[in-house]
Amino acid sequence: MEWFNAVVQGALLGGLYALFAAGLSLIFGVMRLVNIAHGDLIVLAAYLGLSVTLVLGIHPLLALIVVVPAMAVAGYILQRGILNQTLGQDLLPPLLVTFGLSVIIQNALLEIYTADPQKMNAGLLETASVSLGGLSLGVLPLLTFAVAVLVIAGLQWTFYRTALGRAFRAVSDNQDIAQLMGLNRHHIFGLSMALALAVTAIAGILLGIRTSFDPSIGGGRLIFGFEAVIIGGLGNLWGTLAGGVILGVAQTIGAKIDPGWQILSGHLVFLIILAVRPNGLFPRISG
Amino acid sequence: MSHRDYSVTRSSRAARVATVLGAILLVVLIAAPWWAGRADMRLMGELFLYLALASLWNLLAGYAGLVSVGQQAFVGFGGYMLFALTIFAGLPPVVAVLGAGVLGALIAVPVALLIFRLRGAYFAIGTWVVAEVFRLSFAQISALGGGSGSSLPTNIVRSMAASRDGRESLSYWLALGAAVLVITVVYLFLRSRKGLALSAIRDNELAAGSLGIDIWRTKFLVYVITAALTATVGALIFLQKLRISPDAAFSVNDWTAFVIFIVVIGGIGTVEGPIIGTLIFFALRETLADLGTIYLIVLGIVAIMIMLKAPKGVWGLIRARYDLQLFPLGFRVERSNNDKGT
């Protein structure tokens, strides 16, 4: 039963990892951009949420109303202002520019909020739990997982059922022809980054309610999201959710064996899957 | 005018002057223990080790197109191997430094087999995962101090040289030697047949493959050589520090972010770039370090600006203006002056 409990808790944790990964997966799908600053943007969203809750005195989940649009606008400006200039055949510029961005965000957060760990206060939500068939499940992890499923369903719907999604798929398939068909790819890329950072904002707030955070943890969040994307297979959003769940379960089981093994066992499962199935479990597009 | 008026040459006047000046500079630097203070020597030692790391990362990313953000894996591995080989195997520190390099090459083989399955940007993050695996694994080894790390025992430190001055000089010469060795290896490698293949791959991978170049093997070779030398430099870094912990050994900021900034600012894909970049980096650091985090923000902004506005870096700007190449790699056609009659 204890082990079953660990598996269930890990699966729910996987929802958070899928949220870390969804934005990463989206922008890679649309413009083949890998954003090294993704983890730091998640942490930035958490700090924004913290500031909003403190200044307005509202519940962290209500802070989403402010943080999600703020991050989306920031994403659009970031893409149009800087990242669009780096896109091309050479993969070095986007990688190095987002790497520089990561260092800037990290140190700016350090300058403003200091290195002290912070946490958002969500009141009852943090401790509430429900009993289900002998298991005690936290309401927050359940909520996180449900949000992850909804976000991924929403992204999937956007991608395959809306005009915006059609534009995303068009520039993803062939930028030049999409441009000829009257799409402004710079605008489309801006919108995809805005959408990705809106998801990042949700991930950041849920992270900030769940655990304490400090400016240095961005790299770790990027890696978890990245592992979920690769385990699930590139370009497959439901696969990313599955990847997040596998990673979460690997971590909780590792922690059960030895607390020092939690993160390490997640990485090891990722490396094993990479060795056995280089394209992930459910690949749609090739890297 | 016939074709005899022209000759193809690798060397140039600038390169010959640079060789002479470089040799003089090297002699002056070797003699540093007799003219420099202790603090200056420590600073120069650190500069040489960063220069070595930057040249290696430049070979990897600028020439082989293997953009790694996980080279701290090998820096930390080398450092830990220095401690393990001296403490458990009783090797003299200098031998252990070389041993760390050999072990770095050995560990790089399975790592490369695994992460070469990832392409482009995903390769970059994959290297970071490997570095994290190394960090978390070494944090589990209690014989090496676990998560809090350990110091090099005094008897091992003393075995390097009897006096403190002697140790500081030795550690300085080792750092200088590492920088010279790395730059020489990179330069000779690029001039060799393999280096030509590498340049071809960098310019156009598809075309290089169609000419019969084994792309995977060439990149694999570069990755393993770089790993071995990075581990050697890592061992030297922690021989200077005399203390190691997982967080310091596998720090992404210290061993990768700074190194990337150095190469980008100096000029990626040139042998000269990392040298200029290291000098600029240390000049900035010594003047702005008091600003703390602001300094790192400035460094990040400078690197982004350079990547966007002058992707070939400072050396690229100089070369575009003066057509210089201090380390002659390319061939050039020159008009010969001495036999005008023919």
- Check CB contact under 8 Å for B304 and A226: no
Residue A287: its pLDDT value, please? 47
Q: Phi, psi (5° rounding) for residue B94?
A: -65, -40
Residue A110: its pLDDT value, please? 93
Assign B341 a pLDDT band (cuts: 50, 70, 90).
very low
- By C-alpha distance, the chain B residue nearest A98 is B304
Q: Which of A 42-101 lie inside 8 A of B, CB atoms? A: 82, 85-86, 91-97, 99-101
- Residue A114 forms contact with B (CB below 8 Å): no
Residue B342: its pLDDT value, please? 43
The letter for the amino acid at A178 is A
Whether the CB-CB separation of B56 and B229 falls below 8 Å is answered with yes
Residues of chain A with C-beta less than 8 angstroms from the C-beta of B139: 260
Assign B49 a pLDDT band (cuts: 50, 70, 90).
very high
* C-alpha to C-alpha distances, A86 to B183, B298, B304, B306, nearest whole angstrom: 30, 20, 10, 12
| CB count in 10 Å sphere of residue B311 | 17
pLDDT for B16-42, tens place per residue?
888 888 888 888 888 888 888 888 889
- By C-alpha distance, the chain A residue nearest B62 is A92
pLDDT for B113-168, tens place per residue?
999 988 777 888 889 999 999 999 999 888 888 888 888 888 888 888 778 888 88
Please give the Cα distance from B95 to B142 (Å, whole number): 24
- Residue A123 forms contact with B (CB below 8 Å): no
Pick the more confident residue, B203 or B220.
B220
Chain B nearest-CA distance from A102, in A, is: 8
Go through the domains of chain B in sequence order and give each one's CATH number. 11-325 (1.10.3470)
The letter for the amino acid at A157 is W
Residue B2 pLDDT exceeds 70? no
Residue B339 pLDDT exceeds 80? no
Helices (H), A122-181: 139-161, 163-173, 175-180
Residue B47 pLDDT exceeds 90? yes
The closest of A136, A191, A203 to A165, measured between CA atoms, is: A191
Residue B288: its pLDDT value, please? 83
Whether the CB-CB separation of A249 and A7 falls below 8 Å is answered with yes
Burial class (CB in 10 A: 0-12, 13-18, 19+), A226: buried
Name beta bridge partners: B244: B150
Whether the CB-CB separation of A165 and A26 falls below 8 Å is answered with no
Residue B340: its pLDDT value, please? 45
* C-alpha to C-alpha distances, A199 to A172, A264, B197, B283, nearest whole angstrom: 20, 27, 44, 41
Residue B4: its pLDDT value, please? 67
Residue A266: its pLDDT value, please? 93
Burial class (CB in 10 A: 0-12, 13-18, 19+), B240: middle
- Check CB contact under 8 Å for A111 and B260: no
| Best A84, A107, A240 residue to mutate vs chain B (most B CBs within 10 Å) | A107
Selecting from A34, A96, A110 the residue whose C-beta is nearest the C-beta of B122 gives A34
> Alpha-carbon Rg of chain A, whole angstroms?
19
The closest of A78, A71, A24, A72 to A47, measured between CA atoms, is: A71
Computed over every residue of chain B, the mean pLDDT equals: 87
Assign B1 a pLDDT band (cuts: 50, 70, 90).
low
Residues of chain A with C-beta less than 8 angstroms from the C-beta of B137: 264
Residue B12 pLDDT exceeds 80? no
Query: If you write DSSP's letter for every residue of B42-93 in order, what string do you get?
Result: HHHHHHHHHHHHHHHHIIIIIIS----S-THHHHHHHHHHHHHHHHTS---H
Which residues, 6 or more positions from B56, have their beta carbon under 8 angstroms from its beta carbon? B71, B182, B186, B226, B229, B230, B233
Helices (H), B118-271: 120-140, 154-160, 164-191, 193-203, 205-210, 215-241, 246-249, 252, 258-266
Residue A104: its pLDDT value, please? 94
Q: ipTM score here?
A: 0.87
Which pTM value belongs to this model?
0.90
Residues of chain B with C-beta less than 8 angstroms from the C-beta of A267: 129, 132-133, 136
CA atoms within 13 A on the CB side of B115: 31
Please give the Cα distance from B254 to A223 (Å, whole number): 18
Residue carrying the six token digits 């400006």: A77
The three-class DSSP label of residue A3 is helix
Residues of chain A with C-beta less than 8 angstroms from the C-beta of B291: none
Domain locations in chain A? Answer: 2-276
- By C-alpha distance, the chain A residue nearest B202 is A90
- Provide the CATH number for the domain formed by A2-276 in this structure: 1.10.3470
Pick the more confident residue, B231 or B62.
B231
Residues in chain A where the model's pLDDT stays below 70: 285-287
Chain A nearest-CA distance from B64, in A, is: 12
pLDDT for A154-173, tens place per residue?
999 999 999 999 999 998 88
Residue A31: its pLDDT value, please? 86
Residue A127: its pLDDT value, please? 84
Selecting from B121, B137, B311 the residue whose C-beta is nearest the C-beta of A34 gives B121
Query: If you write DSSP's letter for every residue of A228-249 in order, what string do you get?
Result: HHHHH-TT-HHHHHHHHHHHHH
Average pLDDT over residues B304-326: 85
Chain B nearest-CA distance from A153, in A, is: 25
Chain B nearest-CA distance from A62, in A, is: 32
Task: Provide the percentage of residues in chain B whose pLDDT is more than 90.
Answer: 43
